[in-house]
């Protein structure tokens, strides 16, 4: 992998990640852009104990542009985009309309390929490995920013999810706090460790699932399963078999196997609902240990946390979506219409 860092016309950072070591990236952003101005602010909810990002400037972000005006495609002739060069393998840049900025963190866009009509599932194993290396590098770099406590790499895919740009891409959020979902895991981890005299909850869950009926696919270094209490109609958790706290700690063998396992998982997701169905909308979310202090989670260290990816779709059956209505949105109590055992069975049935 070759990494080349440059700046866009408004001062934002852009980084090329290339498969070839001889790649040259000298293209200049020729757009007449003013310096980026953001209004991101973090507000703490005293009743719930969580935080909300207030980012009014995002109202003006690009919304469903035609394919020939996609800002994530390479620049070509007089059509200038966020990527100055005429081609790229993987590219990362600071979001022009970030939810988090400055002392409130940082948001980046990760373009998986220059092919506008492609998807992550269409990548080669070599390309998918490059994306993994880019996620890892960005996690390392962002973790050193003084305002950052947690790094979250994710992909939203599909208009049903709310994606406004159809080009295959993901995002990275660098939060100035430990996110509520991660805090819940850490509290459960601490309670289990205390109640069992030191057993790791993530290890216990993984071993239980590997011995059960909800395994979707398994490699030498990775395992994918539908969790016992899945919140979503089709939800899969992907774990490295050797517990590590973040992407930085993944060993080379796990890195090498990841593209094969993850690409197969994504391709199965696209076959869940049968032939002729539009691509399955999904969210793919990496959970990594926070880089901040964990004193409030008594007895827990970063090494107790288990890196894992959660992949789920909001489509519950052909042509129907799972909406977060009263119980889910009002009380955070999910109601799942698809038994996890049946979901796992279906994902095994559609193996390539």
Residues with a known catalytic role: 169
- Cα 208 from Cα 145, distance rounded (Å): 38
Helix (H) or strand (E) run with residue 6 in it: strand 2-7
Q: Is 126 exposed, middle or buried (0-12, 13-18, 19+ CB in 10 A)?
A: exposed
- Cα 256 from Cα 270, distance rounded (Å): 23
- Cα 42 from Cα 53, distance rounded (Å): 5
Residues 213, 344 contacting (CB under 8 angstroms): yes
Residues 270, 348 contacting (CB under 8 angstroms): no
Q: Spell out a b/e string for 228-241, using b for 16 or more CB atoms within 10 Å of the CB, else e.
A: eebbbbbbbbbbbe
Residues 178, 43 contacting (CB under 8 angstroms): no
- The dihedral over CA atoms of 246, 248, 253, 254, expressed in degrees to the nearest 10, equals 30
């Amino acid at each position: 992998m070759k990494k080349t860092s440059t700046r866009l016309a408004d001062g934002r950072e852009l980084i090329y990640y290339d498969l070839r070591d001889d790649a040259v990236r000298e293209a200049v952003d020729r757009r007449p852009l003013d310096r980026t101005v953001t209004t991101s602010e973090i507000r703490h909810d005293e009743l719930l104990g969580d935080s909300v990002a207030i980012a009014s400037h995002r109202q003006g972000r690009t919304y469903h542009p035609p394919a020939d005006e996609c800002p994530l495609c390479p620049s070509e002739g007089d059509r200038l985009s966020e990527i100055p060069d005429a081609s790229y393998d993987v590219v990362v840049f600071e979001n022009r309309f970030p939810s988090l900025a400055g002392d409130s963190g940082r948001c980046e866009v990760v373009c998986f390929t220059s092919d506008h009509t492609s998807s992550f599932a269409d990548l080669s194993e070599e390309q998918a490995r490059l994306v993994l290396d880019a996620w890892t590098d960005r996690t390392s770099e962002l973790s050193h920013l003084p305002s950052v406590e947690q790094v979250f790499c994710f992909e939203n895919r599909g208009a049903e999810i709310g994606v406004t740009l159809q080009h295959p891409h993901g995002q990275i959020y660098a939060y100035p706090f430990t996110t509520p979902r991660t805090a819940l895991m850490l509290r459960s981890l601490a309670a289990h460790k205390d109640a069992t005299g030191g057993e790791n909850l993530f290890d216990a869950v993984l071993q239980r699932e590997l011995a059960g009926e909800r395994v979707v696919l398994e490699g030498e270094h990775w395992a994918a399963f539908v969790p016992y209490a899945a919140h979503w109609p089709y939800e899969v958790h992907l774990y490295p078999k050797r517990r590590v706290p973040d992407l930085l700690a993944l060993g080379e063998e796990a890195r090498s196997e990841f593209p094969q396992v993850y690409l197969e998982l994504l391709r199965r997701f696209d076959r869940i609902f049968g032939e002729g169905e539009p691509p399955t909308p999904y969210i793919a979310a990496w959970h990594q240990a926070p880089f901040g202090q964990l004193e409030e989670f008594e007895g827990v260290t970063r090494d107790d946390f288990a890196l894992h990816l959660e992949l789920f779709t909001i489509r519950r059956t052909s042509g129907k979506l799972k909406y977060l209505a009263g119980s889910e949105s009002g009380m955070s109590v999910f109601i799942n219409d698809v038994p996890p055992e049946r979901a796992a069975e279906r994902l095994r049935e559609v193996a390539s």
